A = this chain, B = another copy of it.
């Protein structure tokens, strides 16, 4: 499998964690979102992913899956063990609701395209920073209420953690204050010691600039 990825893309980072937790081998193909106006906007990449975003997963037979949620659910069905979702239906829903909250209501509001649009509308760095902080703080307030009191989000590592850690990375990058979220910070500390999260981290990617 080939994963089209960018080292600090939140959604690429999710897929890297899922692949690492499942022990699935892949070739990383870097797509630089900055260089030359963005390699994701070039015809070569648009022929892989018509939305022009990362990540994309190209299977050995050539088919491409886009959108991190679709990719991760595919990996869970392709290679069920170790599982990202527990067995019980309600327990599975608890993981998916945290994943969806982060994947729909936090991250899309501060991706590169949205921040560029805000700048095009005349907003300065201060406005953009406030915008990012607002959505991460509001979303994390709900996540903090939804996750458990020990271990990973729901004790054993799973889908909710696959989503939470990249979002925490983005929050740190944008200097969002996380002191009101002790459960989230507990999960962050635990994951920092876990090999799958370490290998998937932006700092461990070969396309990270020197």
Give Cα A107 to B103, complex, Å.
12
A204 sits at the interface (CB 8 A): no
* A131 touching B117, Cβ below 8 Å: yes
CB atoms of B109 and A68 under 8 A apart: no
Q: A63-B90, A131-B117 are in contact. Are A145 and B50 (CB under 8 A)?
A: yes
- Closest residue to A52 on the B side, CB-wise? B142
CB 8 Å contact bits of A69-110 with B (1 = contact, 0 = none): 111011001100000000001101110110111011101110
Contact A134-B105, Cβ < 8 Å, known A93-B70, A145-B50: no
Min CB–CB distance A116 → chain B (angstroms): 11
The chain B residue sitting closest to A88, CB to CB, is B77
Q: Give CA–CA (A38, B45) in the complex, Å.
A: 43
Main secondary structure of the interface of A (DSSP, over half): helix
Question: If A104-B104, A109-B114, A134-B117 touch, does A65 touch B93 (CB 8 Å cutoff)?
Answer: yes
Tell me which residues from 115 to 139 in chain A have a Cβ below 8 Å from any Cβ of chain B: 117, 121, 123, 127, 131, 134, 139
**Shortest distance from the beta carbon of A106 to any chain B beta carbon, whole Å:** 9
Decide yes or no whether A51 CB sits under 8 A from chain B.
Answer: yes
Given known A-B contacts A50-B145, A89-B74, A131-B117, A67 and B101 have beta carbons under 8 A apart: yes
In the complex, besides A74-B89, A74-B93, 5 extra interface pairs with C-beta distance below 8 angstroms are A50-B146, A69-B96, A73-B92, A73-B96, A121-B131
Please list the residues of chain A having a beta carbon within 8 angstroms of any beta carbon in chain B.
50-53, 59, 63, 65-71, 73-74, 77-78, 89-90, 92-94, 96-97, 99-101, 103-105, 107-109, 114, 117, 121, 123, 127, 131, 134, 139, 141-142, 145-146
